[in-house]
Amino acid sequence: MMTVYTKRRIRLFVTYSILVSVVLVIAYPLVWTIGASFNPGNSLMSTSMIPENPTLAHYIHLLGEGSHPYVQWYLNSLKISLLTMGITLVLVSFSGYAFSRFRFKGRKNGLMLFLLLQMIPQFSALIAIFVLAQMLGLINSHWALVLIYAGGQIPMNTFLLKGYLDSIPRDLDESARMDGASHFRIYGQIIMPLAKPILAVVAINSFTGPLGDFILASVIVRSPEMYTLPIGLYNLVSNPMGASYTMFAAGALLISIPVALMFLLLQKQFVSGLTQGGVKG
């Protein structure tokens, strides 16, 4: 019969085995992509993940005077992501505060509508989005992507923010109101500073979403100088004159830099927002 100590050791062994397996599954494609980005030539075929003759030629070509405007695509994606993040934070902070702190007609139906909208895949409305953008003259415009991305971020992030704001005591609102504070002052000086953790979650979600989108961007954007990174990188591997898979790997790794920096800057608030919003919401 196994002792308590033996059972504990077995549980630890199983737990760490699962964790190591998950880490390997996640790390293997990343390490392989890094190795491919330093591999000379255009092919991904290699005898090992570590290139025998590593080179920086792909990175130099992408960031230098290459035959394609990679830097412009990079800046386009960053601009769209930053604008989407800013607009999303403003809109979601207002909507989450309204649904959390006010009781009004249609409130429950509005929350239910947000939930239903979140269940509908964005690509299922591509035709309607294209027709609307064409009517408004926003085809081949980054603003069309920003508005669509920001609108798509509202339902889910409103639920996250509302759940977090519900955990903030209403006594703070009542005390401030007794001192003569308006709703806007309570929102800006009391509630939102306390909601920084969940706002960090919303910021990261809304920033990373547009960086990886290909389908919607390919429908709206037309000219090469307006391309976002997913479209530009796709052209590298779909070029009939010769696909450059190793350069694609290098370009894909470079776009992970702002995502990593954003996460590092907001890491403390991000983790706190996920845990507190999930437990108390």
Q: What is the pLDDT of residues 197-220, one digit of tens each?
A: 889 889 988 999 898 888 889 889
pLDDT tens-place string over residues 14-70: 999 999 999 888 888 888 888 888 887 766 665 566 777 778 888 888 887 655 688
8 Å CB contact between 96 and 191: no
pLDDT the model gives residue 1 = 55
pLDDT the model gives residue 193 = 87
What's the average model confidence in pLDDT over 178-182?
Answer: 84
pTM above 0.85, yes or no: no
- For the chain, give the mean pLDDT: 83
Q: Which two tokens stand for residue 158?
A: 């409103």
pLDDT the model gives residue 85 = 94
* 180: pLDDT strictly greater than 50: yes
Instruction: Return the CATH fold of 61-280.
Output: MetI-like fold (1.10.3720)
C-alpha distance from residue 48 to each of 51, 187, 194, 251 (Å) = 7, 56, 50, 21
Closest CA to 251 of 37, 26, 29, 30: 37
Domain boundaries, the chain: 4-58, 61-280
